[in-house]
Structure formats: structure tokens, C-alpha cells
Structure 1
Amino acid sequence: MTIPKFRVYDKVERMMITTSDYEDLSDLFCFLKADADTGYYSELMQSTGLYTVPLCPGLDYERKEIFEGDILKWYYSEGIELQQQGTFVVVFENGAFRPNKGNDITLHEMLEDCDWAEVIGNLYENPEILEELE
């Protein structure tokens, strides 16, 4: 059984805190705080247990772990006839991690079919990416 991984985005300090920064998972949860005066609070994100898909397997490519709230860019093709690409945010809905773009497909199923996928940011540290997409 694998131990779930989490990270917290502290909206007051504007910084991402990961479990690798702490010995014990409970130490991470002390960052889950709310401030009623400012309305700021921390965001807890769980790892999907999945990793990005390299463009060319075998090249020196660091696969990145994918967390809820990450923004992924992907590419899929079946020859010249069918080529698709896009960007989405990873969400947890109906018991599974999924693209936020109204799909019934799970993140796992999507990554199995992708030729390439990379994390280009996350909702909290890179909101400008979402603004560019709208």
C-alpha cells in the first residue's frame, strides 16, 4: 500500500509546501489554516499517483508527479489525420482524478492515450496560465 502524498498552498505566504519538506505528514497539516478577517485559507492537494508522459521515451526527461490543481498540457495523435492537443486542470470528481473540461474520462485513462503530457503550472502559483486560456 502506498502512502498518499499531499502538498499545501499557503495563500497568505503565497508558497507551496510539500510533504518532502517535513518528516511527518501531520507536520504538513499545521499549514491548513483559515483567516476569517482576510478570507485567505490554505489549499490541500493530493497526489494523483500519476506522472507526466515524456515526449520521447529514453531521453533525459524528469517525469513530474501530478497533483490535484496542476495545469497539464497534452498532445495526442493518430498519424496526420487525427491530432489533438489541449490544456486542463486536474480535479477530483466522482471518486477519481479527472480533467476539468467536462469529461467522463479519468486522468489515468487520458494519460494512457496521450503521446505527451507535461505539468505547466498549478491553479495557485500560476493563475495567469488560466487567464491566458480563457
Structure 2
Amino acid sequence: MTPKFRVWDETQHKMLQVDYIEFIDGKAYWFEASPADGNVQGENDGPVGGNSQLKLEQSTGLKDANGDDIYENDLVLLDPDDPPYQVIFDEGKFELSNDYLRLVYDLSEEHMDCEIIGNIHENPELLEEEK
């Protein structure tokens, strides 16, 4: 499986597609990204790291009930009566985390009936509603 990535641009407040990633010693070091719609508004490249305005997010390699790729920081519903879970990457694995319910599940094939309802960047209000 070829890893897939996306990038959240904190300045433009939009999700970008990754065009190029440079790895050094097995770690992502630099990347270039562009909007999926082709509407480029300045350069979108930079170092990978906590201080960058560009946030690199990896695909889990799994799809939701609608066939959409699930990425780190997506918000998913497991049960329509429960608050959403955030997809996180922790200690080498993807997990579903719900701070309100204080639950964490390993993201696996058994959760593929989940539905992506947004992500923490574009839909932070979905997490606020559960408080």
C-alpha cells in the first residue's frame, strides 16, 4: 500500500493535496502541496513539524461506510446517538478517541461502518457540541 497524505493550511484555512514529500532518515522532512481545485494562492511548501502552518496528515488506509478515505484528524460517527470520535495517531497506531465519553478504540476493520462527518480543522464545532 502506498501511503496517502493531505495537508491542512492554517493560513488559507483549506485542505490541500500533497504533491511531493521528501524523507530524510525515514522521517518526512519537507513537502509541497496544492489545492485539489487547482486554485493556487501562493506557494504551499514547507518543513514538516509542529511550528509549520501546514499540518501533514496521513490516511489510515481504511475507508468509511461511504467509501471515503479516513485520515488522521477526521471526525467520525460510530453510532448516530453518540458524539463524534476523532481519528488520532498514537504510539504507532490509529485510534478513535472521544474525550467526552472517555473512550479510545483501535481503528480497525470492525469500525468501517463509521461515517466521516468532518475534520477538526473545518468542523471544530462538532467537538464543541459534545461538551
**Identity rate, percent:** 31
Candidates 52, 71, 80, aligned match of 2:75: 71
Candidates 7, 11, 32, aligned match of 1:27: 32
Structure 2: 5+ residue stretches without partners: 22-30, 35-43
Corresponding position: 1:4 with 2:11: no
TM superposition shift of 1:32: 3.8
Identify the residue that residue 46 of structure 1 maps to in structure 2.
58
Check 1:104–1:74 CA distance in 2 against 1; reply closer, same or farther (3 A cut).
closer
Identify the residue that residue 117 of structure 2 maps to in structure 1.
120
The superposition leaves residues 70-104 of structure 1 with CA deviations (integer Å, 9 ceiling, x where unpaired) of: 0001139xxxxxxx744200000121000123556
TM superposition shift of 1:27: 2.8
TM superposition shift of 1:28: 2.7
SS of equivalent to 2:128: helix
Q: Distance in 2 between matches of 1:110 and 1:98?
A: 12
C-alpha root-mean-square deviation of aligned residues, in Å? Answer: 2.8
Q: Distance in 2 between matches of 1:126 and 1:87?
A: 11
Check 1:90–1:32 CA distance in 2 against 1; reply closer, same or farther (3 A cut).
farther
CA contact (8 A) 2:32 2:46 kept: no
The superposition leaves residues 6-58 of structure 1 with CA deviations (integer Å, 9 ceiling, x where unpaired) of: 11100001110023xx3x44433953469xxxx772211100000002xxxxx
1 or 2, which has the higher strand percentage?
A: 2
Check 1:4–1:75 CA distance in 2 against 1; reply closer, same or farther (3 A cut).
same
Q: Normalised by the size of structure 1, how large is the TM-score?
A: 0.67
SS of equivalent to 1:130: helix
Identify the residue that residue 128 of structure 2 maps to in structure 1.
131
Identify the residue that residue 56 of structure 1 maps to in structure 2.
none
Q: Distance in 2 between matches of 1:95 and 1:110?
A: 19
Q: Distance in 2 between matches of 1:74 and 1:47?
A: 18
